[in-house]
């Protein structure tokens, strides 16, 4: 079943260059000119493996052991097996110059073979789970892109061909979302996909639709039994698709995500993603990862139920995607659609899983390389998207989001009545029951107040936090002038006496000084250091672990743990309810 195909020049490591690990220049055996095209030999590694030596084939798919797969390239080629490749001296100029095109090092990517070998990073339990029945649903792989780099897009495709049973790929749909000035995305890309051994089509948007509109458009064209969404700069790893499809076959009302491994933006090194994680989201509506706590003796080949998904990489039954109303097309360009899909799926009777055996590596970059809409700033677009999601799905909890990010409150996200109708039609449950299902820590139900917490001289507790809450762990809370703009001065005080900011709680640091600062730590129900009993008469917040110690604001804005003193003005706190849930 091996297919030998040609691929256009420019796509392969050419010429010679200095390998970082050796001083000897390496000669690529694929030195090419525009006349002699190098070849990529595609083999469906799944085709023969299910058959024994008498030609009797068993009923299904078996993921071959990685050791039995012959690597196509010399092992000293750059980036083979996911090793880092840093630009050698003769590439540095090009690396720097071309970096802004994609906000990752495309010059480095260009030197790595499109069909580079990758290690099998599945855990042992996953390797033991390698057999699948032969009637798995097939899939339409959907990849939308705007101004994608050449070699990263092509490597996405080649990795799919090399690590997926071809019979399961109903088609690959590429949709170019109105890329600008990238000649290689036109005729050369079309020529390239014609060399692929599975049906692949290239569609184009005349006008930019954004990733959400583009995915909807591609999904409407797709005819596979399932849809498999991928970003345009990934490498799928060993056995990736089978685990995802198997879960959809068990229950079609599923969204199934792979583990997202990291390809570094500078060296395209494969870093293993954590496999004991699930998705949540912050008060600022930002998707976030959380680690599973505890769980000894767990079977690490079992899928993990996750409240939210990152959004880019997932499999879903095609008809179920339609039933869920696809995406809200009022969500523009980038952002928010992953939470829309997550809330909708769980609240309307579906489930979202992360399969720890399925691995897809994704190029992570620090910045967006492309423009959003002409007429408004990136943040306005994103916050309007969040507004739509909050308005349709968050019920009364949207007020917490609005308080923490007043921009979301004040922007007009447009008419959402059709999405509310969809919610009605699908008979979806409340946001509160969704939160209860997962007991998401940052949305506790036992709150007494949501609002600012101030001293008598108008100083408010302020978290000083950026969008990445995890960076706020162990940072001190300050007492700043009250600004009544919400945001970082919004806290949630519970009936269990905890003071929440998102999923962090206020706790005295364990420095051994007299004036211990108060810092943010992960909230834990049974941690009494985080409990502050409010005395309505003296207005003090008394720590329940450190007896007769109180929360006190100093004039330099520090907040400390101090001996309780009813005369200290910095110990007189009041709660200003700003959100009524």
What residues contact 137, with CB distance under 8 A and at least 6 apart?
Answer: 224, 225, 226, 245, 248, 249, 317
Tokens of 272: 């293993």
Per CB under 6 A, the list member of 113, 174, 185, 310 interacting with ligand LR7 is: 310
Rounded to 10 deg, the angle between the 378-393 and 417-425 helix axes is 40
- CA dist 194 and 418 (Å) reads 40
What residues contact 127, with CB distance under 8 A and at least 6 apart?
Answer: 65, 120
- CA dist 370 and 214 (Å) reads 16
Tokens of 17: 């260059």
- CA dist 477 and 263 (Å) reads 35
Per CB under 6 A, the list member of 45, 144, 389, 504 interacting with ligand LR7 is: 144
Q: Which stretch binds Mn ion (CB under 5 A): 168-176, 223-231, 440-448, 562-570?
A: 223-231
Map residues 219-258 to x or -, x wherever contact with ligand LR7 holds by CB under 6 A: ------------xx--------------------------
Residue 391, contacted partner among ligand LR7, Mn ion, none, CB below 5-8 A by kind: none
Helix/strand/coil (H/E/C) assignment for every residue in 221-284: HCCCCEEEEECCCEEECCCHHHHHHHHHHHCCCEEEEEEEEEECCCCCCEECCCCCEEEEECCC
Q: Which stretch binds Mn ion (CB under 5 A): 160-168, 179-187, 226-234, 281-289?
A: 226-234
- In this complex, which beta carbon is closest to ligand LR7, that of residue 164 or of residue 232? 232
Per CB under 6 A, the list member of 42, 334, 383, 397 interacting with ligand LR7 is: 334
The residue among 348, 98, 136, 127 whose CA lies nearest residue 241 is 136
The verdict on 214 binding ligand LR7 (CB under 6 A) reads: yes
Q: Are 104 and 175 in contact (CB under 8 A)?
A: no
Q: How do strand 254-263 and strand 351-363 relate by DSSP bridges?
A: parallel
Map the footprint of ligand LR7 across residues 154-173, applying CB under 6 A: none
- In this complex, which beta carbon is closest to ligand LR7, that of residue 50 or of residue 211? 211
Q: Which residue is nearest to ligand LR7 (CB)?
A: 312
The verdict on 260 binding ligand LR7 (CB under 6 A) reads: yes
Q: How far is the CB of 311 from Mn ion (least distance, A)?
A: 9
Per CB under 6 A, the list member of 78, 311, 325, 508 interacting with ligand LR7 is: 311
Q: Which stretch binds ligand LR7 (CB under 6 A): 3-11, 19-27, 305-313, 455-463?
A: 305-313
Count of residues that interact with Mn ion, criterion CB under 5 A: 1
- CA dist 7 and 193 (Å) reads 9
What residues contact 126, with CB distance under 8 A and at least 6 apart?
Answer: 239, 243, 300, 301, 356, 357
Map the footprint of ligand LR7 across residues 465-504, applying CB under 6 A: none
The verdict on 145 binding ligand LR7 (CB under 6 A) reads: yes
Q: How far is the CB of 121 from ligand LR7 (least distance, A)?
A: 17
Q: Are 554 and 479 in contact (CB under 8 A)?
A: yes
The verdict on 335 binding ligand LR7 (CB under 6 A) reads: yes
Residue 146, contacted partner among Mn ion, ligand LR7, none, CB below 5-8 A by kind: ligand LR7
Per CB under 5 A, the list member of 44, 148, 231, 235 interacting with Mn ion is: 231
The verdict on 345 binding ligand LR7 (CB under 6 A) reads: no
Which residues contact Mn ion by CB under 5 A? 231
Which residues contact ligand LR7 by CB under 6 A? 144-146, 148, 177, 208, 210-211, 214, 231-232, 260, 310-313, 333-335, 337-338, 362, 368
């Amino acid at each position: 079943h091996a297919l030998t195909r040609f691929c256009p020049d420019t796509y392969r490591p050419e010429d010679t260059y200095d390998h970082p690990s050796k001083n000897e220049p390496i000669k690529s055996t694929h030195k090419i000119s525009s006349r002699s095209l190098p070849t990529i030999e595609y083999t469906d590694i799944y085709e023969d493996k299910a058959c024994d030596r008498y030609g009797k084939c068993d009923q299904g798919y078996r993921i071959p052991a990685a050791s039995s797969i012959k690597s196509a390239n010399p092992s000293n080629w750059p980036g083979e097996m996911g090793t880092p490749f840093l630009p050698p001296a003769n590439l540095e100029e090009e690396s720097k110059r071309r970096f802004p095109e994609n906000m990752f090092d495309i010059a480095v990517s260009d030197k790595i073979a499109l069909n580079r070998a990758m290690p099998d990073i599945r855990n042992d339990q996953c390797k033991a789970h390698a057999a699948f029945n032969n009637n798995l649903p097939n899939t339409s792989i959907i990849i939308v892109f705007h101004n994608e780099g050449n070699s990263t897009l092509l490597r996405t495709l080649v990795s799919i061909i090399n690590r997926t049973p071809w019979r399961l790929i109903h088609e690959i749909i590429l949709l170019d979302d109105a890329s600008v000035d990238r000649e290689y995305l036109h005729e050369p890309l079309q020529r390239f996909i014609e060399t692929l051994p599975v049906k692949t089509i290239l569609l184009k948007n005349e006008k930019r639709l954004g990733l959400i509109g583009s995915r909807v458009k591609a999904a409407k064209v797709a005819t596979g039994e399932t849809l498999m969404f991928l970003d345009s700069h990934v490498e799928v790893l060993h056995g990736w698709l089978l685990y995802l499809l198997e879960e959809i076959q068990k229950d079609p009302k599923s969204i199934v995500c792979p583990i997202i491994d990291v390809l570094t933006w500078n060296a395209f090194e494969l870093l293993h993603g954590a496999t004991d994680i699930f998705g949540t989201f912050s008060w600022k509506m930002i998707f976030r990862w959380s680690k599973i706590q505890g769980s000894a003796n767990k079977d690490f080949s079992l899928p993990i139920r996750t409240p939210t998904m990152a959004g880019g990489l997932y499999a879903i039954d095609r008809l179920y995607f339609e039933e869920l109303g696809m995406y809200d097309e009022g969500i523009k360009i980038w952002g928010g659609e992953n939470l829309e899909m997550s809330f909708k799926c769980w609240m309307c009777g579906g489930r979202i899983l992360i399969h720890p055996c399925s691995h897809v590596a994704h190029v992570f970059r620090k910045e967006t390389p492309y423009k959003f809409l002409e007429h408004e700033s990136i943040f306005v677009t994103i916050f309007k998207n969040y507004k739509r999601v909050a308005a349709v799905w968050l019920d009364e909890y949207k007020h917490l989001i609005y308080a923490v990010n007043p921009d979301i409150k004040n922007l007009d996200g447009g008419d959402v009545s059709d999405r509310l109708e969809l919610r009605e039609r699908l008979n979806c449950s409340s946001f509160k029951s969704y939160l209860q299902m997962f007991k998401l820590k940052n949305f506790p139900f036992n709150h007494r107040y949501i609002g600012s917490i101030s001293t008598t001289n108008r100083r408010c507790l302020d978290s000083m936090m950026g969008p990445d809450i995890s960076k706020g762990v162990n940072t001190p809370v300050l007492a700043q002038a009250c600004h009544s703009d919400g945001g970082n001065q919004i806290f949630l005080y519970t009936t269990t006496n905890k003071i929440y900011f998102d999923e962090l709680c206020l706790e005295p640091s364990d420095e051994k000084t007299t004036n211990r600062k108060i810092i943010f730590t992960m909230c834990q129900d049974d941690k009494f250091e985080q409990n502050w009993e409010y005395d309505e008469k003296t207005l003090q917040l008394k720590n329940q672990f450190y007896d007769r110690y109180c929360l006190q604001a100093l004039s330099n804005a520090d907040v400390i743990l101090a001996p309780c003193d009813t005369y200290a003005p910095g110990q007189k706190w009041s709660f200003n309810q700003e959100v009524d849930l």
